[in-house]
């Protein structure tokens, strides 16, 4: 069954909403900068793509903003944008509205500061909101709470594939009749010395601190790792008959999803991309499409040396002789971990809406090992009506989505 999309929301390093994400990608704008503060001085990299303060502050009621962790704050803003665009609040049974939000690490950024408070001042200084901040399900629960919906609040936690898996799970809930509407997406905010140090120890991060805007370089020969980012993106998905009955504007469709696991390594992808390719095949089969129907690919494209090549092999294996244009959102936004798959799905739907796919920023010298039709220089027209969005996460999680106008 096809699910229709009636609302889109995003809060990213490129701006406060979904349209600013779309405009920023088409203009190949960089959201990457250098972190300020002494706590970052000893790190091998201070690169990050963060959401501007003015795009967060004042967008929630004071009590809500004070009692939720930043990742929940971002999720709520994106969810409200999507929900308001969908205009479903007055004509939808709240018991038939579910929430599925993905995250890789949830509110872990709250823990180090609270640990320091315990060490310096004792346990009575710990915030009463610490446990709700740490719960991985807190973003989904907060969205359900603030929007007043009762169809279940679920959380996907499949590393960097979490946001895409949330959309796939939403499709399943609609197909099986468990919900009429699902608020689905992902949120992440863990730009902290601890997480930066951990990723740096894995040699996963770019260290191009002298030129931040050029640091995120998916598929480029000079790529040296990803740039950690933060943000949120949310889609409102509905059963087609439900959307039609209430006269909702349809912004796009989710046609199919495919989920597999590499069972190869906890950190490294399978270099041959076999199971990643199978996730693409499953998504196409569920959508009732062939590789020839795909007009463009919104790639995972992290800019890690091994990851980009594994993805390129997976795409070529799954798409055969077809060579749709490939873009990479993370060249502009950085890597939003558990939010990235949802961000890229929103970007793909907006690209389909306007019939144009954004170029890959910083792609000056394409890696010959990534034998793909990579979009460079300027936006390119999209001729076909379907898009493929791929997401791959630590632990070997592979999720592919097929989207359409």
Known catalytic residues are 160, 300, 335
How many CB atoms are closer than 10 A to CB 71? 31
């Amino acid at each position: 069954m096809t699910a229709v999309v009636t609302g889109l929301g995003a809060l990213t390093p490129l701006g406060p909403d979904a349209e600013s994400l779309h405009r920023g990608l088409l203009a190949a704008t960089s959201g990457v900068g250098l972190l300020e503060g002494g706590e970052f001085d000893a790190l091998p990299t201070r690169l990050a793509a963060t959401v501007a303060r003015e795009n967060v502050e004042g967008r929630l009621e004071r009590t809500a903003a004070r009692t939720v962790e930043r990742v929940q704050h971002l999720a709520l803003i994106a969810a409200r944008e999507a929900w308001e665009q969908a205009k479903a609040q007055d004509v939808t049974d709240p018991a038939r509205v579910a929430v599925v939000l993905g995250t890789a690490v949830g509110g872990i950024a709250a823990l180090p500061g609270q640990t320091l408070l315990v060490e310096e001042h004792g346990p009575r200084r710990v915030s009463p909101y610490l446990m709700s901040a740490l719960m991985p399900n807190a973003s989904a629960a907060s969205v359900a709470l603030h929007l007043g919906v009762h169809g279940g609040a679920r959380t996907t936690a499949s590393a960097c594939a979490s946001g895409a898996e949330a959309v796939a799970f939403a499709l399943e809930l609609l197909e099986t009749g468990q919900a009429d509407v699902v608020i689905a997406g992902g949120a992440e905010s863990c730009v902290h010395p601890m997480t930066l140090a951990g990723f740096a120890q894995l040699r996963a991060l770019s260290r191009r601190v002298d030129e931040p805007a050029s640091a995120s370089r998916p598929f480029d020969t000079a790529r040296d790792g990803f740039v950690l980012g933060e943000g949120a993106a949310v889609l409102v998905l509905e059963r087609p008959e439900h959307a039609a009955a209430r006269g909702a504007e349809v912004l796009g469709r989710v046609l199919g999803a495919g989920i597999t696991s590499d069972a190869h390594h906890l950190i490294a992808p399978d270099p041959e991309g076999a199971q990643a390719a199978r996730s693409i095949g499953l998504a196409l089969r569920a959508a009732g499409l062939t590789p020839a129907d795909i007009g463009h690919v919104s790639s995972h494209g992290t800019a890690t040396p091994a990851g980009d090549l594994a993805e390129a092999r997976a795409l070529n294996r799954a798409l055969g002789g077809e060579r749709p244009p490939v873009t990479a959102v993370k060249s502009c936004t950085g890597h939003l971990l558990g939010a990235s798959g949802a961000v890229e799905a929103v970007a793909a739907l907006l690209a389909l809406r306007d019939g144009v796919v954004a170029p890959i920023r910083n792609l000056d010298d394409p890696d010959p090992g990534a034998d793909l039709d990579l979009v460079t220089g300027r936006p390119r027209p999209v001729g076909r009506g379907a898009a493929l969005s791929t997401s791959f996460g630590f632990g070997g999680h592979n999720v592919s989505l097929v989207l359409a106008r």
